Amino acid sequence: MSDSNLEQAQADGKYIRTVRSFVKREGRLTRGQAAALERSWPTMGLTHQQGLLDLTQVFGREAPTVLEIGFGMGKSLVAMAAAAPEKNFIGIEVHRPGVGACLMEAETAGLTNLRVYEHDAVEVLRDCIADGALDTVQVFFPDPWHKKRHHKRRLIQPAFVEALRPKLALGGVLHLATDWENYAEHMLEVMSGAANWRNLAEDQGYIPRPSERPLTKFEQRGERLGHGVWDLKFSRIG
């Protein structure tokens, strides 16, 4: 989303109610995405209106649950869910073509351990996820909102991580990754300043790239541009 589009959206009065971490783009669905949504939404789709989730009922079992916020086209989420069939995965994304693309990938991989929301993650966390329900929350390459005047739109903020913390079980992990150095510094500052988290990096900075995080499109692009990538893991200690 370019700044001029954002300003136009704001001028149209679309997103002035609250500061959100996204501007909803009306991207067209491909035929494949539309077909996957039609086929798989009844089994894999979750809605904000359903309210608080009973995970045992949703997945038909008790298992550690990983929540990914802003999964984009879902490639890394599907790869992780396929690599860890013993865990439950929930993905949240506001971009409908991304949700369709994720369901297509999930069908191809034959996944039964993934459910998805097409909704604002801030509201899903608040209204649908019980306290202590999650083993891991992961946010990979969230929109960096490069300009200083847009930094307030960044998802990783003190209020957001404080609202997220009780959703993790004690010892549960928040895993963040970004290819934008200034956002990495912002993440480290927010997380280091937040109470009841422990930085899992030995030097209290960033961790080496964890092997369970697959390469995403954004990371590959960043690598081509010569950007670095920064991973952070913090566990809930209180």
Ligand X SMILES: C[S@@+](CC[C@H](N)C(=O)[O-])C[C@H]1O[C@@H](n2cnc3c(N)ncnc32)[C@H](O)[C@@H]1O
Residues of this chain that bind ligand X (CB under 6 A): 21-22, 69-72, 92-95, 98, 120-122, 140-143, 155, 216-218
Tokens matching residue 185: 């510094």
Instruction: Could you list the residues known to form a binding site for S-adenosyl-L-methionine, using ranges.
Output: 68, 93, 120, 143
Cβ of 42: how many Cβ atoms within 10 Å? Answer: 8
Q: Report the candidate in 106, 58, 59, 103 with the shortest Cα–Cα distance to residue 80.
A: 106
Instruction: Could you list the residues known to form a binding site for substrate, using ranges.
Output: 147, 179, 216-219
CB of 21 to ligand X, least distance (A): 4
Instruction: Could you list the residues known to form a binding site, using ranges.
Output: 68, 93, 120, 143, 147, 179, 216-219
CB of 117 to ligand X, least distance (A): 8
Q: Report the candidate in 111, 95, 236 with the shortest Cα–Cα distance to residue 103.
A: 111
The set of residues, in sequence order, having a beta carbon less than 8 Å from that of 147 and lying 6+ positions away, is 3
Closest to ligand X by CB, 65 or 157: 157
Closest to ligand X by CB, 184 or 237: 184
Active site residue 143: yes
User: CA neighbours within 13 Å on the CB side: how many for 201?
Assistant: 18
Closest to ligand X by CB, 218 or 230: 218
Question: At 60, phi and psi to the nearest 5?
Answer: 70, 20
Closest to ligand X by CB, 195 or 225: 225
Catalytic residue among 135, 143, 203, 231: 143
CB of 132 to ligand X, least distance (A): 22
Q: E strands within 106-185?
A: 114-118, 134-140, 168-178
Which residues have a catalytic role annotated? 143
